[in-house]
Amino acid sequence: MEKIILKVWGMECGHCKATVQKALKGTMGVADVSIDLPTGEVAVTFDPTAVGLDKMKEVIKGVGYEVLD
């Protein structure tokens, strides 16, 4: 397992947080997601053989938020 911290823009409330969390947790290879709303930091624990950064970005975009580089 690896852990990465993504900076996500646009999450403003508990609902946004839950949406992003649910989308990532439903992605194959993602083991755990923890989100800090005030900073927009999304910590993802994942299996690098099953999922990559591009896929995670795509999932987050898919529910309406942007990943900052």
Q: What is the binding site for Cu ion (CB under 5 A)?
A: 12-13, 15-16
Q: Which residue has the tokens 């989308």?
A: 23
Q: How many residues can be counted in the chain?
A: 69
CB contact at 8 A, 1 and 31: yes
Min. distance of Cβ 69 from Cu ion in angstroms? 23
Q: Which is nearer to Cu ion, 12 or 58 (CB)?
A: 12
- SS3 category, 34: strand
Q: Which is nearer to Cu ion, 6 or 35 (CB)?
A: 35
Q: Which is nearer to Cu ion, 24 or 51 (CB)?
A: 24
